[in-house]
Structure 1
């Protein structure tokens, strides 16, 4: 059965859709899209299911198929040929695809097989359960060796792991927080612009009054004012 029910020249005056290109060339739409993405074919002029392609797309599409299926050329060589081919050479390549059968369609996988595939994928990626570590049985002690205390018989102390080991390590290396020094109280009594009387410690009202009188006396002495 021929893949083309009409000659490519019939579509040179109109811009075909993707469905029309697939029907006239016998190729699957996904094949046409892949060739557009690879730069072998021009892209559609608009978007959407009704998008149309340039009028000469069908002839170029048949030429690509003729070179691939009749001459066995890889797509890389076809791309180079399309760069230098004349219109007459493209028509000759397109004529080679006239008697080719339509491209076989690949049926979509059945729902059951898809579910089986996903189920098998989950089973392969699921983590395997960790086997429990076998506790070694205690070796028999010689007859002249005293037995261990009853509380330790039948058990073997294993080093801690995971968070338990981390907590123990932090408890050993952690230093106690340094105690903050108490805020010291200072009483500063100005005497002259360059001299002041500074007293450290908490003072009551009577002590503060005495020190203020002392500051006044010192000020009078420094300034030459005898009391």
Structure 2
């Protein structure tokens, strides 16, 4: 069982990701910084889920780190948990029942424990429901249900800063294409309307 506030070695052991890779992801802004410094440094409790989610997005879905960073900006905790569960053999993913042709085979496989060769499980049926909205689509849907979208021009700077109110600013550190910039500005307009009470 992993600690409530895991250490770097806890994260590496539980995720199968090398400690230096986890440090690199912290430096790139994909993971939160440790809560304290030094060899006994501890990380926030949800860091393991984020590590597993990044691993799944990179290894299972083939996403580059720049795209993963954008997805993590807007992903809800449930979406991060869903990504983390896609890592094969992770503690987040329930183990499939052993395949067996008879009750005797099933009991023998259970007694033998993990690592015993068995027939591969039958392929899973394709889900019938549409996948939940993710990323920018989920953010826009939550913020602007039923509202008209204002026309916006994309900004062309590396750091995208969008003022919302005199005290609030939306800042994104990532190279975004023109469509992504326009979508973020639409989201900023929706946030501004909500904060200023114009969302009715």
TM norm. shorter chain > 0.5: no
Higher Cα radius of gyration: 1
- TM category (shorter chain) comes to 0.3 to 0.5
- TM, length-normalised to structure 1: 0.38
TM-score calculated relative to the size of structure 2: 0.43
